[in-house]
């Protein structure tokens, strides 16, 4: 596991927003080649506190600006940790409507950090109003046109993700933990998964099974043909570090 040296810790952003925060990183694994293909940056407090404690300090009208600051700091930290592959960054949905600010700042941070633009994946959370906002599809396309990849996060918890796929196809969809939990024992979840999998295959969209926590969940999904995973079964998020994946996974 790669950890911070206190002497190389990135500058705090407290001056910009009035408080400090940092990140934990969780690997995303492709079992076809038994390799980590990306790390997701997850907001944490300055000493590893949960993300809820950070967002509780952000006034709602400052969320878009905070969203952009988050990505800059995550890229800087990932660069200091010498991330060897891709980096997944969350995007607060209203922030996509400040696309010029967000994309320009993230693009500049990518160039300055040495992390290629094509190695950065924007994750947009599936919400009930995801497809209700005007120009959403155009802004998502701009993100891809710049060179970034995109993913719909928590896919399967609402209806908006399916509506979005009618006109927009991301690079990845991340299946929600609620769908993954005990999928090996639940016929209804298995049927829903099979339908999503068929749609994604026909549209050339990669599936990421997110929140996989047990060997039974993993083996059912593996038998169903899923190749990319994220969850406690593989590794827990590590604060200001790039965690290794459990050896039992790569020794299959």
CATH number reported for the structural domain that contains residue 76 in this entry: 3.20.20.450
pLDDT in tens, 25-78: 999 999 999 999 999 999 999 999 999 999 899 887 787 788 889 999 999 999
Residue 185 belongs to some domain of the structure:
yes
Average of per-residue pLDDT across 194-204 = 94
Q: Considering only 55-59, 122-126, 160-164, which range has the smallest mean pLDDT?
A: 160-164
Average of per-residue pLDDT across 221-249 = 92
Q: Is the pLDDT of residue 15 over 60?
A: no
The total number of structural domains in the chain stands at 1
Residue 233 belongs to some domain of the structure:
yes
Average of per-residue pLDDT across 90-110 = 74
More confident residue, 188 or 98: 188
Q: Is the pLDDT of residue 158 over 90?
A: no
Read off the pTM: 0.87
Residue 218 belongs to some domain of the structure:
yes
Q: Is the pLDDT of residue 79 over 50?
A: yes
More confident residue, 20 or 8: 20
Residue 222 belongs to some domain of the structure:
yes
Residue 64 belongs to some domain of the structure:
yes
What's residue 11's pLDDT?
Answer: 41
What's residue 93's pLDDT?
Answer: 61
What's residue 142's pLDDT?
Answer: 83
What's residue 128's pLDDT?
Answer: 47
Average of per-residue pLDDT across 240-251 = 79
Write phi, then psi, for 236 (nearest 5 degrees).
-85, 155
Q: Is the pLDDT of residue 130 over 60?
A: no
What's residue 38's pLDDT?
Answer: 97
Residue 8 belongs to some domain of the structure:
no
């Amino acid at each position: 596991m790669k950890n911070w040296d206190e002497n190389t810790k990135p500058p705090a952003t407290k001056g910009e927003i009035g408080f400090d925060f940092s990140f934990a990183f969780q690997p995303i694994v492709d079992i076809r080649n038994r390799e980590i293909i990306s790390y997701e940056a997850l907001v944490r407090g300055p000493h590893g506190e949960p993300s809820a404690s950070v967002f509780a300090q952000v006034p709602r009208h400052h969320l878009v600006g905070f969203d952009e600051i988050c990505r800059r700091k995550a890229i800087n930290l990932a660069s200091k940790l010498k991330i060897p592959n891709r980096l997944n960054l969350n995007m607060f949905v209203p922030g996509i409507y400040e696309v010029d600010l967000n994309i320009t700042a993230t693009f500049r941070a990518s160039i300055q950090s040495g992390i290629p633009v094509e190695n950065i994946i924007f994750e947009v959370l599936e919400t009930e109003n995801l497809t209700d906002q005007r120009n959403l599809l155009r802004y998502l396309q701009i993100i891809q046109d710049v060179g970034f990849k995109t993913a719909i996060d928590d896919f399967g918890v609402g209806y908006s993700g399916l509506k979005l796929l009618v006109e927009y196809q991301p690079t990845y969809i991340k299946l929600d933990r609620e769908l993954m939990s005990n999928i090996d024992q639940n016929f209804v979840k298995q049927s829903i998964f099979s339908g999503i999998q068929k749609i994604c295959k026909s549209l050339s969209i990669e599936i990421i099974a997110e929140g996989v926590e047990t060997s039974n969940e993993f083996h059912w999904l593996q038998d169903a043909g899923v190749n990319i995973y994220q969850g406690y079964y593989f590794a827990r998020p590590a604060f200001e570090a790039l965690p290794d994946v459990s050896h039992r996974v790569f020794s299959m």
